[in-house]
Every structure is written in C-alpha cells, then in structure tokens.
Structure 1
Amino acid sequence: MKETNGQHLISLFEQWAPKSLAVDGDTVGLQIGTLNKTITKVLVTLDVNLDTVEEAIKNGCELIIAHHPPIYRGMKNMRTDLPQGILIEKLIKNDIAVYAAHTNLDIATGGVNDLLANALQLENIEILEQTTSEQLMKLAVFTPKESTNVVRAALDIAGAGQIGEYRSCSFTSTGEGRFKPSDLASPYIGQANELEVVEEDKIEVVFSVSIKNKVLKALLTNHPYEEPAYDLILLESEVNKMGLGRIGKLPKKLKLAEYAEVVKKQLNVPFVRVVGDLTKEVQKVAVLGGDGNKYIQTAKRAGADVFITGDLYFHVAQDAEAIGLSVIDPGHHVEQIMKHGVAEYMTEVCIQNNLLVEFISSKISTDPFQLI
C-alpha cells in the first residue's frame, strides 16, 4: 500500500460523482484548504460543524468529505468572531481541507438516492427526474485486414463499443480500399504515384461523446496507415442517463401505515410525517433525499403511490393530498446514509488502487431537531 495526495484521491472520487453532475448553481468541490498534500485519513460527514471538525481533529484527518457544503451562499466577509468564520478558522489552523459533494452525489449512480432506494427495499429502480445524459457517436474506420484485430482491441480498451451491460461491441465488413500516395507520402502499403487496391475491413463502434478524444487517440496510435480514413457520426441515441430521485416498486403491496413503519426502521428515524389515507395500499415508491417539495408533481406523473422526501411544506402537503399522492416525510437528515456509503465505496476504490487511506464515517448527528 502507498500514500497518496488529495488531488489524486479526489480525482478517484470524481470518477464516481463528477462535479459536472451537480445542478446549476450548486456549490460543490474543494471549499476550504488545499488538496496538495498527503492524505491518510478522511472523515465523511453529512454536515461540517464544530463537532464534526473536532471529530476530524481527534481522528487525525487531513480531509473532510461532506454532503452539505459549509459555504453555500457567497460570503461577504470571514469574521472569526462569528460562527462561520470560527469554523473556517479552526479548519485552516488544523490544516483540514473540506470537499463538498452535494447534488452530484445525489445524482451519481450508487449515490445518496440509490442508497435510500436500496434501504427502502425498492426493486426495478429508475431515475425520477432526469438531469443529464450523453449522446452516442459512431466511428467507422477502414483498416487493412491484418491490422483489424489490433485496431479493434485498442478501441475496446479506450472504451468504445460499450452498450449498456455489453462490452466489446463492434461490426466488421470487408471491401476494397483504393488510394494513390504522393511523392511526399510514406505509405504503409503501396508505392508513390501508383494506385493501390487493398482488401480492407470496415470497423464500426459506438461510444459516448465524452470519450471521443480518448477513442481517436487510440485509433491514430494503433492504426498502421499514415492517414487512416474514418467517419465520426453523432447519433441521437442517449446513454448514461442520470438524475435526481429514484422510483421503484416494493416486493408486495403494503398499507401506507405499514410502509411508514418500514421507512422509520430502515432509515433509522424516530418518527415520520405522513400525508394520505393510512389504509390505502402502496407499491410504487418515489424517493428523493433532502428537500423534494418541488418534485411532488414529478412523482405523481411517474405513477408513484407514495413519495418519500424531507422538509415537506404545509401547502405542498395539501397539494399532494389534493392530487391523491401519499407522502412520507422522514426528515432531511436521512441523507446521513451517505456517510457509510461514501466511506465504504472509497475504501474499496483505495484498496483497488493500492492506496493507504482510511475513511471514517462520522459518528456525530448533525440533525438540529429533537423530539419531545
């Protein structure tokens, strides 16, 4: 096992939850301190407050990964006699960096909303509100037959030819290629100023637009021709669809009151607020961590029987009741599920990369509410 710096560590994290996934205006990424240092211990927390900072200091952490950004709105000053300034001063004095992964971690596959959906025992899970996707491109390249396998393998390694859960997808057809090299050319096959006819294969593969440069580099590095002939075609097909919230089905129908008890148990909360007929059976469930008030209609359109989200407003609850959508509000703090989820995921990533980094799930509850 070897040590690593913060920049490398966060680059591995962002392969899972890239900042580009965050919704417009969200504040994500490095907020306090520097990543240009060795990281051996990381505290994973929902919120950054004085208690969690003390926890990080006690455990010898050089980095905190938080879900809720400690700097969410623009700061006009940083007074060390006010709460936010006191917090930032303490972090800087103890050389602890803070990295925030907010809506990008909500949206990421395996992130907050998938963790919640799995905890709530949902099956056939889909995205509730799509926020992003990528277009597909198709590459068609012509190569001499003896080089077909080499070029095809290089494109495969670069990530081309991945369709859903299938890898190494391609199509090959055979035909005749014709070309006449000039005096200045250095042809792999043929002579200057002589028309050459070659039996060639046409390889066709698809890939997401985001890896176009990587695929082209693999092609040009491994193709034998000085000037390979290829086509790039932008397709209308979408891949890597991602978004906020999840929707799925329970293994069997439950009365709303029964499922509310399941939610309490699975999300480890002392109580939930419920909107709807407690005797009504529910099976199709939508869930969105945090504040999901503006997604009431989205959940209804998706066919949800019940929507699980936090911070439900009084009038939004009335609106949900009017459209026949049951709601279970377990509070905003259920997003704390990310503490164990991120720690577990990143521990595995570091083991795979032979990195000596310990991830610690915060034991501090940052829920400001108490039940009396």
Structure 2
Amino acid sequence: MELSKLVNIFEQEFPPITAWSDDSIGLQISNSKSRIKNVYFTLELNEDSISEALSYSSDLIVIFHPLIFRPLSTITTDNRVGNLVTKLIKNDIGLYAIHTNFDSHPYGTSYELCKQLGFIKSKFLVPDDNIDGYGMGVIIELKNSIKLNELLEKVTDICNSPLKYNKGRTENITKIAIIGGSGSSYIPEALNQGCDVFITADIKYHDYHSVEGKMAIIDPGHYEMEQFVPMAIKNILKERLEEGINLIMGSVLTNPVNYYPQHNYKESQIKYLNNYKG
C-alpha cells in the first residue's frame, strides 16, 4: 500500500481534529519506499525497538508517544531524539505518531484500560466538541459497588505496577473515571461529575491533598496505564487495511522506570508484550 493511502486511512480512523491542538501527531519521518508492506507498532521508540523493527524489515513504525514533539533546530546523535531520528532516516524507516487523537477515539486509551480492568464504559468524561462519538477519558457507573481495596488489587494486577492513592469519601465505589496517561488537569471534571475514584497518572503531591476525603485518586504510572495502546491501535487498523500489509506488534519494553523493591513488575510488563510479539 502506498504511504499516502495508508496515512489517509490513519487520519480517517483517528481524525487529527480530535487531537490536542499542541500535539505532534501524524507523519514525522517519511521514507523513499513506494509501497509499505511491514508496519511495526510500539508505544515509543528506543534503540532496541528500532533494532527489532529492522529485524522485521519494517517500512513504517507507528508510535503512540511522538518522537519529535518540538521542532528540532539540529539533528545530532549525542541526544536521544537526534540519535533515533538519524537511525530511522539511515535505515529508510518512516515514522507515524497517533497520540491524543487515539486518546479521544471511541475505543482509545482510557477505554482500553477500562476493558482490561473488566469494566464497561458508560460515557466519555469529556465529549469532543468537534466530532460526535469522540472524547477524552471514560466514566464507569457500576450497578454493584466495589470496595476500594478490591479496585486497588485489580489495578495493580492489570497494570503490573505499584500504586499511589489517597483516601476518598467512601470505601464503596460505584462511579469511576479514567484518563490514560497524564490526567491531573481533569481532576476538577471527575470531581464535578461525582466520581468516587479517578484513575490517572503523573499526579502531584498537592493534587492528592486537594481532593482528600472527596475523591480517591489512583496513580498506576504513565507507561503502566498506556502499555495496552499499541495492540489496541493495531487491532483497530487491522480491520481497515488491505491484505498484504503485515502488522507487527513490538515486544521491546520501552518503560524507562524501574521499581524498588522489584516485585517482578517489569517482568510482568515484558511478559505481556511477548504474548503478542510479532
């Protein structure tokens, strides 16, 4: 399939208008190949993921976290972005980023974690103003309440991570909001909608204080919430692409965060990737 046709399908499924205005999505690096045969999916790039993509003769890499987020004044190999950009260009591999336009997708980042946790999405936390059926985050309304400790066990087990959380107003949880990745700016919205718990990442210390006794916040970590995204994007696109294109799921763990004590968190994250390798 021609790269331009592939990009058109990407933009139909994940409309750029649904991304944040300051996000860096879309085709970040083109290549000289007339047809794309092998497409490699990963959350983000490091040297090992590029090496794995090369081992599959990948023509294009689809990432969630954009490699080039701000304009580059120089491209040198002595920094992470310049080094990875150089490797991609040298090996004639294209790069395409699907980021907040996947977050806002009906089956996007927050929906995917909701599904992994065994819940059913009731509605978006914040519906998109531009396109019906798109929006940021999900709200889950449970018919039968769940204890906070049960929810904590479920989240740590699915996300393969330790958790940070605060005390909410109740131990009996019936309304949950999820924003995959950094979602602290949505705390007021989750609180205003009467959520018992808000699951998101990159929460600051004083954010916990601000809702203490009003709403519990659970922070499993950024990568830990989004690790399911590449497979979700791959599965959505699989239904849209013609035969003859190989969609390859990367198995390289790109999470730069380590844990102490270890508790096998990273081993579990690697196991998840290996379950869907190739």
- Please show how residues 1-372 of structure 1 align to structure 2 within 5 Å: 4-34=1-31, 37-134=34-131, 240-267=132-159, 269-276=160-167, 280-321=171-212, 324-333=214-223, 334-350=225-241, 354-372=242-260
Instruction: Give structure 1 regions of 4+ aligned residues with deviation exceeding 4 angstroms.
Output: none
Deviation at 1:266, TM superposition (A): 2.6
Deviation at 1:80, TM superposition (A): 2.7
Structure with more of its chain in strand, by fraction:
1
Once residues 249 and 143 of structure 2 are traced to their aligned partners in structure 1, the CA distance between those partners, rounded to angstroms, is: 30
Partner of 1:230: none
Compared with structure 1, are the counterparts of its residues 261 and 24 closer, same or farther at alpha carbon in structure 2 (3 Å cutoff)? Answer: same
Deviation at 1:10, TM superposition (A): 2.2
Q: After superposition, what is the alpha-carbon deviation per residue over 1:44-71, rounded to whole angstroms, capped at 9, x for unaligned?
A: 1111121211111111111011110001
Q: Please state whether the residue corresponding to 1:286 is helix, strand or coil.
A: strand
Once residues 219 and 202 of structure 2 are traced to their aligned partners in structure 1, the CA distance between those partners, rounded to angstroms, is: 7
- Higher mean C-alpha deviation, range 125-134 or range 9-18: 125-134
* TM-score in terms of structure 1 length: 0.66
Structure 2, unaligned runs of 5 or more = 261-278
* TM-score in terms of structure 2 length: 0.87
Instruction: Give RMSD over aligned pairs.
Output: 1.8
Contact 2:168–2:215, Cα closer than 8 Å, also in 1: no
Contact 1:122–1:251, Cα closer than 8 Å, also in 2: no
Compared with structure 1, are the counterparts of its residues 281 and 75 closer, same or farther at alpha carbon in structure 2 (3 Å cutoff)? Answer: same
Deviation at 1:315, TM superposition (A): 0.9
Q: Please state whether the residue corresponding to 1:284 is helix, strand or coil.
A: strand
Once residues 53 and 278 of structure 1 are traced to their aligned partners in structure 2, the CA distance between those partners, rounded to angstroms, is: 46
Structure 2 letter corresponding to 1:343: K
- Higher mean C-alpha deviation, range 273-282 or range 41-50: 273-282
Once residues 251 and 16 of structure 1 are traced to their aligned partners in structure 2, the CA distance between those partners, rounded to angstroms, is: 32
Q: After superposition, what is the alpha-carbon deviation per residue over 1:154-196, rounded to whole angstroms, capped at 9, x for unaligned?
A: xxxxxxxxxxxxxxxxxxxxxxxxxxxxxxxxxxxxxxxxxxx
Compared with structure 1, are the counterparts of its residues 246 and 367 closer, same or farther at alpha carbon in structure 2 (3 Å cutoff)? Answer: same
Once residues 11 and 108 of structure 2 are traced to their aligned partners in structure 1, the CA distance between those partners, rounded to angstroms, is: 12
Contact 1:7–1:35, Cα closer than 8 Å, also in 2: no
Deviation at 1:22, TM superposition (A): 0.6
Larger Cα Rg: Structure 1 or Structure 2? 1
Contact 1:5–1:35, Cα closer than 8 Å, also in 2: no
Compared with structure 1, are the counterparts of its residues 18 and 36 closer, same or farther at alpha carbon in structure 2 (3 Å cutoff)? Answer: farther
Aligned residues: 259
